[in-house]
Structure 1
């Protein structure tokens, strides 16, 4: 780890990406992610970075696909409407095996919506917003420190599996300022024999996502599914808090996990045995986090109308024991508000 600073989430993330060796950034400004491209633009000359502001998010996503094809570390940062415009390229990058990193800073939708905190893009990130059978790794930090750590890990995972990785943030995390210990600089250390780097002295590398008959394309898809199965088996991430003796278990990710921790503390002080499961990887969803908890009562809290709650219901044996509470439009509930919902469950 490196310098200890007091920094905004977006800025700390951008600095950590630079320290991870990401020298290529293509972006289009959109609130609440705009500080990321602004920081890259400001540091470009000093750090020898390539920064391009594209004409649209559609162009930007195709730019990062092209840069990723050369084996260079590359990223963009956007928010809901911009992320929607990049979905064709996300499907293409997953099919082509391109290791790009996308920071998606969620804000309330649908449509233009608001510019405050929200978690309504869970489905789009986790289920795949583009066409076809593909998956992208999705990591959800809950602090500025974790944003710094997970952005660096995102590049490593993207290269390990040759697959896009989404770091899913929100306006609250992006704009908050916290003490953070910035990670040190990392060198890219991976096999790039597949990359399109010019074929002088070696055979051509071929990268295509066009099928050549149904049998060939089914085989191509089955190979992708084999890779996704390896990711699911190896890359679940989560944190459990006081779940061993809990009667009620909260489930929350990102900024809502911070609220849930406060609600859990209030409940414990009131004599209620409440714990928390905090998914860090949203895809693959951390099924292992729920092992041994099948007889518990669950309260899923999100800044949405209810999206991750569906994955919780698919994971636990008794979906009738899974309850939900969410807020919309950019309103973030307080720990006391969640505590009141815990009491309504009537579990002693």
Structure 2
């Protein structure tokens, strides 16, 4: 199949439909507006349903309902809208329902601005809503990878009965690149949705009920322990990352999303002036690839976390380094994008300090 030039938000929609998504509930907010616009046009063509809800709160509860009925369903928003969805996301995680959530991140806090940022890392990876739960969080750095991760996100959601978030900064949503939408092949041996509330009776003669309320604390504790066993399995099976130029690197940068692409350019500039630099690119932000640092920690003099934020992923980098090598941070915020030249200057300062 030939590649097609697409905007990131539209590529996300095309990938979702290709993966069998037939329900989309959302509410407009920049910089993700082209995604619901695309779904409103294309979903009816395949027998799907698009609905612009009256608010983000309404949209995520519609997702709860469709997921509870066993449908493949997606919602999308940008940072303030995701904040409004957090209560519903916690309910969905507590009820063990599969869905896909797209966050095309913009600058904050508050209404902030409409330019790209990565300052929702804490919200995405550390829960975001109330209670003990996790989302599986994936961070693409190109549109082709975005397409592939969106498609896989639906399978992962069904596999673990858990929400999956694609954390795509505003640049991913707005840039245009050639993408190939390949014939979709779902995971083999996905579990049947025999839990779905479709009006049927289970083998024990009981109605299927979707719920996250446990008034007995002993039952709630057992439920939380159960879902944490799923998270432990994710941490074993779903860690994704890329190593780039780390073999002889004096300093290893850690970056995700489009920031990782900027870091690659900085690495090329470093090489031209005799500095050996590498990159660890987490693709799964939860679960975070802590163990990969063990492979490179003896080679590097230091780690540098590069982010479009005031420093959120840097905490996970420090945990991974475990005090064995120093960890530094460089970031821009408010919708400002770090430039390769700035990163090179930071690396030079670190090496001179060391």
Q: Distance in 2 between matches of 1:76 and 1:183?
A: 22
Q: CA deviation at 1:187?
A: 5.9
Q: Is the Cα contact below 8 Å between 1:19 and 1:186 reproduced in 2?
A: no
Give the TM-score, by structure 2 length: 0.95
Q: CA deviation at 1:196?
A: 1.2
Q: Which shifted more, 213-222 or 162-171? A: 213-222
Question: 1:135-154, aligned counterparts within 5 Å?
Answer: 135-154=134-153
RMSD (Å) for aligned C-alpha atoms: 1.5
Show the counterpart of 2:258: 255
Question: 1:180-195, aligned counterparts within 5 Å?
Answer: 180-186=179-185, 190-195=191-196
Q: Which shifted more, 207-216 or 126-135? A: 207-216
Out of 325, 330, 340, the residue aligned to residue 330 of structure 2 is 325
Q: Which shifted more, 268-277 or 104-113? A: 268-277
Question: Is the partner of 1:77 in helix, strand or coil?
Answer: strand
Q: How many residues get paired?
A: 347
- Where in structure 1 do 4 or more consecutive aligned residues deviate above 3 Å? 185-190, 200-203
Question: 1:35-74, aligned counterparts within 5 Å?
Answer: 35-74=34-73
> Which runs of no fewer than 5 residues in structure 2 stay unpaired?
none
Q: Which shifted more, 338-347 or 60-69? A: 338-347
Does residue 265 of structure 1 match 2:268? yes
Out of 295, 298, 318, the residue aligned to residue 313 of structure 1 is 318
Q: Is the Cα contact below 8 Å between 1:73 and 1:155 reproduced in 2?
A: yes
Show the counterpart of 2:308: 303
Question: 1:206-285, aligned counterparts within 5 Å?
Answer: 206-285=209-288
Question: Is the partner of 1:105 in helix, strand or coil?
Answer: strand
Q: CA deviation at 1:269?
A: 2.0
Question: Is the partner of 2:330 in helix, strand or coil?
Answer: strand
Q: Which shifted more, 113-122 or 210-219? A: 210-219
Q: CA deviation at 1:205?
A: 1.7
Q: Distance in 2 between matches of 1:201 and 1:59?
A: 30
Question: For 1:290-322, what per-residue CA distance to the aligned partner results, in whole angstroms no more than 9, with x for missing partners?
Answer: 122224211110000000000000111226610
> Which runs of no fewer than 5 residues in structure 1 stay unpaired?
none
Question: For 1:195-234, what per-residue CA distance to the aligned partner results, in whole angstroms no more than 9, with x for missing partners?
Answer: 1122168542232211132211111111111111111111
Q: Is the Cα contact below 8 Å between 2:105 and 2:169 reproduced in 1?
A: yes
Q: CA deviation at 1:190?
A: 4.2
Question: For 1:262-308, what per-residue CA distance to the aligned partner results, in whole angstroms no more than 9, with x for missing partners?
Answer: 10111112211110000000000011221222242111100000000
Q: Residues 128, 18 of structure 1: CA spacing in aligned structure 2 closer, same or farther, 3 A cutoff?
A: same
Question: Is the partner of 2:258 in helix, strand or coil?
Answer: helix
Q: Which shifted more, 37-46 or 146-155? A: 37-46
Show the counterpart of 2:25: 26
Question: Is the partner of 2:296 in helix, strand or coil?
Answer: coil
Does residue 75 of structure 1 match 2:74? yes
